Structures are given as C-alpha cells and as structure tokens.
Amino acid sequence: MSSFKRNLKIILFLMLYSSTVNSHHSFAVEFTAERIIEIKGVVTEIWFRNPHVRYYIDTINKSNKIENWDVRTSSPSLLVRKGWTKKTIQVGDEISIIGHPGRDDRKLLSVISIKLPDGSSLGQDYPDSHELGEKK
Amino acid sequence: MTHNQKIKNKLKSLKLRQFSICKTLLLIIFISSSSFAQDSIEGEWMLTLNGGKAQIDNSVVIGAPTDNKAAIIGQLSLKESNGNWEGHVEGGPVEINVEGDAIEILIDSRDLAGFVFFRRLTGRHSDQGMSGTFTIEGTTETPEAGGHWMATRKTSENINLPPQPVDISGIWTPAPGMDFRKYSMDLTDKAQTWHDDYINHYDQPNVRCVSPGIVAIVAWGAYPFEILESNNRLTFLYEVDSEIRRIFMNDKQPPEYFPPSAMGFSNGHWNGNTLLIETQLLEGNVRDFRGEPISEGARMHEQYNLSKDGNTLTAVITLLDPDNYKKSPIRRRKWIRNPNTEIYPYECDPDSFFRQMYNENKLDMYFDRSHRRQID
C-alpha cells in the first residue's frame, strides 16, 4: 500500500473513531496524539476506578520478551452508563487494543477500541487490521 | 479678451476649483473612511461559529443529543496599537491580521480529549459586523469540520431587572456547542513563571484524586450535575469528584474564619430570569487541565439562562483573577435536562498514579516537586 493511501486510511480512521478517553488531565502531555498502534495480549490486572480505568496487559515484544502495558480508558461512571462494567473484561482475557501510545516509548496506551475474546468491540467499532497504519 | 472667453475662463477656473474641492472632499472621505474602518473594529464583539462539529464526544455522555450544527460562541476583543492589532477570544490571545476590509483570526483551542488545534477565520469586516469562513488546523480527536463565522458588536448587559426565578431543578447533561475551549490565556509574568514549570500528569490535582476546584469542574465537558432548589438556597451536585456546592440566595455572608476552599463560597440572585452567581473564598488552585494558576482571592462570576422550553441550560463563566490573568478567562457551557439518568458514584483512588511513578523510579522527583502543588 502506498504511503499516501496508508496515511489517508489513518486520517479516515481518526475521523471515524473518536477515543473513548475523556481526559482528566492533558492527554497531549502523556500520549502521542498523532500515532495509533495496536497491541494484543493477556489481561493481568484490572483497576476499575477513577481517575482512569486501567487494564494491565502482558504482550510479547519483537525480542520475544514480555512487556507489561498500562492501558487507560475513561472514568467508570461514563463507561458503566454504556454497559461497560468492571466484569466486562476479566483477568486472563486475551484482548486486542488500538489506541494512542505514551510519549517517550513509555508502555502506556490510551484506548480507542478494544476487541474482546468473542470478537465484539468496546469503545468504538474495532477496525480491520489493514486499516491501521502502524502495528505493534 | 471677449466676454465669452472671460466666461469660459471663469467657468474653467470654477471647474478647477470645484474639481479641487471635490478631490479634497474625496480625500477627506477616503482618509476618514479608511481610518474609520480600521479604528471602528476596535472593541468588544460576539463571535459565532456555525458548522463546526461540536466539541463533545456524544458517545461518552448518555442522553446528549447529536447536534452537528451547535454554534460555538465567544467574546472577541480587538485593539489597535501603533498600527498593530491585538486580539483576544474568551480572554486568551489570538493572532489577528487586518488589511483593508480583510480580517484573519487564528484561535487555539483544546478538544475534549486534550488535543490542541487551531481554527483559522478569514473574512471581511465593516464597522457594523464581520463574517467569513473558518477551517481547522492540527489534530483533533473529536472530528470537527470548518464552516461559517460572524461577529456582531457586544451589547451592554448592565440592566437590573426585578427577580423572575425559573425552575432549573433537575439533572443536567452536557450538550454540544457553545464553548470555544480556548487554550492559551494572557498570563501575568507571575503566572507565566509559575506555569512554565508545571507538569500536568504530576502536578494536576485530579490525577491524585484531589479536587481541581469549582472553576475547572463547572466547565468539565462530560459529566452531569443535579440542581436542588430549597428555601434561599440552590445546591449543585456534581458527578465529577462527587463535589457539592451550596449557592446562598439570600445575601448570606461567610461565617467568621470560613476558609478558602476548592469550591469557595457562592452567593446567587435572579436578575429577571437570569441566575447570577458570585463565588469568593477560592483557594489557590488550577483553572483547568492546562494547569494555569488561580490565586487565593480570585472570584468567579457565572450567568445561567434557561431556554423557553425549559430543557436547555446555558452558562457563561468568567474568572476574575488579575494577579494571574491580564484578561479574564471566559468559558461557556450548555446542558440538556435529562430525567433519564442519575448522578453516579465517583470514587477515586490514587493508587495507580503512585504505582506508575514507583515503577518508573519517579517518586523522589514527585515529592521534590511538592511546592508545585501549593498555590498562594
């Protein structure tokens, strides 16, 4: 795919998929707004509380080593209104997430969409992999 | 010289004089009109943007209607000094270019997710009004399209009316539109020095579950709040941070030694059917998520209006803090009456915030910055 087409897809993706994050503080300070990546891994811990709901995810990196990611989404009261409760994702679940990565290569991810083991999505509809310009 | 020649010469001289007078008159008119056009746009204007998709993610707020045509409104201040134009929108500085009757305004804003972007307004002006089109520059997470803009002279609001209270009790959900979410403000040197060393994700109060205070909370974009009316008092229950706020409607003064606090002390009264609230005794805090300071002694002025159908509540919120701001920051909010929800619990635990710093060996740095979390 040409870089033009790939960039166009990223732009279209950004236009179609708004983040589920409603930042309590300055998103731009911690996360890279211009980048979207995808990670896949196993949920090791869930923190369903303010100031942000967090999922800790183990992934395998290119060097075949385990990396633990701090995956953040919105406030519990905003998520539960949409039926996304603390039981929706369980420890041990294998999930895929797309989002904005942390700055300075920190293993942080601000969620746009999560794909659950049964293939359903949380947040925005999960896009096809080929729509992403960058993958983890 | 014949009589006819004399007449011709006289007419010629008269014509020349007339032409000269006309030229002078035209020059005067041109100079005065051009300088009038330049000078006359100085002052306060109300700016309205239509067509930009509203700066709120509908998916995060239950009950908020989709409203892609929600107007964005802001106060534009223009001033000319030595041929240079100075502009502010909602109290924050903007870039202004004026050439003849063409005007260009570049306004920075912050979307709901924290992305900073620009709206570039181009158009024409007269002393009566301005209008044109605008485009978006930079990344926004909530997509926004360009559209049309116009500005009209701001009219005086200092009219005292007999109270005509309206029923604003109920639960109110944030709705699209209204707020520019102006990003940069015109800070004093003292505030700028303080802010230069601010690190949002370490110093912002709410990241460690401390209330950022009423000035930030009242303009928060996603959470509902409830208004209870009782005798001589309005009570606002904010979902975010589970904050409670009492507005005394009977000129009640704070008790002796009542301390400054995040929510301050609020008095309200009805001016016609407009609710006006003045808040004092605010403690040193931050204005919003950018971390610009609020000094102890700052005041907040709010003006609430209910729509004729009783289902839309709007507010204009002005922070008065000359220690930190050369011009008063203004926010605007709009809410829709929503009987289909309740105020949800909002427990906050800073464990994950401290754990992250522990994992990244930044706890020492954090505690070395304790002074950053005290604002006088």
CATH for B259: 2.40.128.20
Asked whether A65 and A6 are in contact (CB, 8 A), the reply is no
Q: Verify that B345 and B249 share a domain, yes or no.
A: yes
Cβ-Cβ contacts under 8 Å between A and B: the total is: 109
Specify the residue for token string 């060097």.
A63
CB pair distance less than 8 Å for A82 and B222: no
pLDDT in tens, B266-318: 999 999 999 999 999 999 999 988 889 999 999 999 999 999 999 999 999 99
CB pair distance less than 8 Å for B57 and A75: no
Q: Verify that B209 and B328 share a domain, yes or no.
A: yes
Backbone dihedral region for residue B10 (phi beyond 0: left; psi -120 to 50: alpha; all else: beta) = alpha
Question: Per the structure, how many domains does chain B have?
Answer: 2
pLDDT at A34 (0 to 100): 77
Compute the distance between CA of residue A21 and CA of residue B2 in angstroms, rounded to an integer. 95
Least Cα separation, residue A69 to chain B (angstroms): 11
Q: Verify that B183 and B276 share a domain, yes or no.
A: yes
Q: Verify that B72 and B201 share a domain, yes or no.
A: no
Q: Is residue B10 part of a domain?
A: no
Q: Verify that B57 and B95 share a domain, yes or no.
A: yes
pLDDT in tens, B108-124: 998 777 778 899 999 99
Q: Verify that B135 and B195 share a domain, yes or no.
A: no
Cβ contacts of A21 on chain B, cutoff 8 Å: 113
Task: Give the domain extent around B126.
Answer: 43-153
Residues in chain A: 136
Q: Verify that B135 and B183 share a domain, yes or no.
A: no
Residue B26: pLDDT over 60: no
Q: Verify that B267 and B365 share a domain, yes or no.
A: yes
Lowest mean pLDDT among A26-35, B54-63, B94-103, B138-147: B54-63
CATH for B87: 2.40.128
Residue B132: pLDDT over 80: yes
Give the residue from B109, B171, B200 with the most A CB atoms within 10 Å of its CB, the best one to mutate: B200
- B229 Cβ contact partners less than 8 Å away, ≥ 6 residues apart: B167, B168, B169
Q: Is residue B104 part of a domain?
A: yes
The pLDDT of B251-262, averaged and rounded, is 95
The pLDDT of B18-41, averaged and rounded, is 49
Q: Verify that B139 and B175 share a domain, yes or no.
A: no
CB pair distance less than 8 Å for A25 and B59: no
Least Cα separation, residue B373 to chain A (angstroms): 15
> Which of B153, B178, B209 is the last residue before a domain boundary?
B153
Q: Is residue B332 part of a domain?
A: yes
Of B142, B201, B348, nearest to A18 by CB-CB distance is B142
B146-149: long-range contacts, CB 8 A cutoff, minimum separation 24 = B146/B51, B146/B52, B146/B119, B147/B49, B147/B50, B147/B51, B147/B52, B148/B49, B148/B50, B148/B51, B149/B47, B149/B48, B149/B49, B149/B50, B149/B121, B149/B123
**Domains of chain A from N-terminus onward:** 3-19+31-131 (2.40.50.140)
For B55-85, b/e burial (b = at least 16 CB within 10 A) is bbbbbbbebbeebeebbbbbbbbbeeeeeeb
pLDDT class of A10 with cuts at 50, 70, 90: very low
> Which of B88, B118, B153 is the last residue before a domain boundary?
B153
Residue A3: pLDDT over 90: no
Q: Verify that B103 and B177 share a domain, yes or no.
A: no
CB pair distance less than 8 Å for A25 and B201: yes
CA distances in angstroms from B312 to B120, B340, B344, listed in the order given: 29, 15, 21
Compute the distance between CA of residue B20 and CA of residue B283 in angstroms, rounded to an integer. 68
Q: Is residue B325 part of a domain?
A: yes
Q: Is residue B1 part of a domain?
A: no
Q: Is residue B3 part of a domain?
A: no
Q: Verify that B77 and B135 share a domain, yes or no.
A: yes
> Which of B126, B153, B180 is the last residue before a domain boundary?
B153
CB pair distance less than 8 Å for A22 and B221: yes
Q: Is residue B342 part of a domain?
A: yes
Compute the distance between CA of residue B329 and CA of residue A53 in angstroms, rounded to an integer. 31
For B138-166, b/e burial (b = at least 16 CB within 10 A) is eebbbbbebbebbbeeeeeeeeeeeeeeb
- Verdict on whether the full-model pTM lies above 0.90: no
HSE value, Cβ hemisphere, 13 Å, CA-based, for A75: 28
Lowest mean pLDDT among A69-78, A106-115, B67-76, B257-266: B67-76
Of B115, B143, B356, nearest to A70 by CB-CB distance is B356
CB pair distance less than 8 Å for B59 and A124: yes
Compute the distance between CA of residue A47 and CA of residue A9 in angstroms, rounded to an integer. 33
Q: Is residue B34 part of a domain?
A: no
Q: What is the ipTM of this complex?
A: 0.78
Q: Verify that B198 and B66 share a domain, yes or no.
A: no
